Amino acid sequence: MKNYKTPSTLILLMLLVGITGCIGNETDPSTGTGEASLTALENKSPPTLGLELIASGLTAPVQYISSDDGRMFAVDQTGIVEVFDEDGLMQEGPFMDLRDRMVDLSPGYDERGLLGMAFHPDFVKNGRVFVFYSVPLRAGAPEGYSCTNRLSLFTVSEDDPDAVDMSRERVIFQIDKPQMNHNGGAITFGPDGYLYLPLGDGGGANDQG
């Protein structure tokens, strides 16, 4: 489980590219067509695909992303971020724990929580991490609304590169949400260096509110 987004699509694309490459690069000298490559392809053994268990115990993983320093990170909607070393082993203790700051999630179904995480393009140098998550409705928000979604900046601990300093949170942006659903999702830096943040709509049946 190397990518929670679209692993099956990625594998399919890789196979199609490989097959297309074989057909396009080999031709039958006598006919000038790709019949020779098709025959060779038919005689080859079918590719072998498999699954490898990376971690267990996650509740609702929404991202599995790289920090570009050899480590991978599993972002869980429940507010936990786990870190995996270069050998794919999950480290003891979470990289980040936002559970005590988040809105209480419904145990049956909820679309709030830790929605996305993104590393600064210069993360290896500055240790900056951005998260988008749901907190209890802030003071002054419209009465009856569900929660406030917050974009915040954290920095990795100076003493432990596998943990965020949770005492230093810089709130960058907040938006009040009328319903618990349709909250947006993963955040990411574009090639232009800007951080992109999906907000979702109002949610609820017929987008009430």
Residue 37's pLDDT is what? Answer: 65
Rg of the chain taking only CA atoms, in angstroms = 22
Position 208 confidence tier, pLDDT thresholds 50, 70, 90? low
pLDDT at 15 over 70: no
Position 22 confidence tier, pLDDT thresholds 50, 70, 90? very low
Q: In sequence order, what E strands does the chain have?
A: 61-66, 72-76, 80-84, 96-97, 114-119, 128-135, 147-155, 170-177, 188-189, 195-196
Query: pLDDT digits over 183-193, tens only?
Result: 888 999 999 99
Position 11 confidence tier, pLDDT thresholds 50, 70, 90? very low
Position 7 confidence tier, pLDDT thresholds 50, 70, 90? very low
Q: Higher-confidence residue: 129 or 39?
A: 129
Position 132 confidence tier, pLDDT thresholds 50, 70, 90? very high
Residue 195's pLDDT is what? Answer: 97
The domain defined by 61-207 carries CATH number 3.40.50.1450? no
Query: pLDDT digits over 26-59, tens only?
Result: 454 555 555 666 666 677 788 889 998 878 888 9
CA angle 163, 56, 156 (to 5 degrees): 10
pLDDT at 24 over 70: no
Amino acid at 5: K
Rounded (10°) angle between helices 7-25 and 35-43: 130
Structural domain boundaries in the chain: 7-43, 61-207
Query: pLDDT digits over 56-105, tens only?
Result: 888 999 999 999 999 999 999 999 999 999 888 899 889 999 999 999 99
- Whole-number percent of the chain with pLDDT over 90: 61
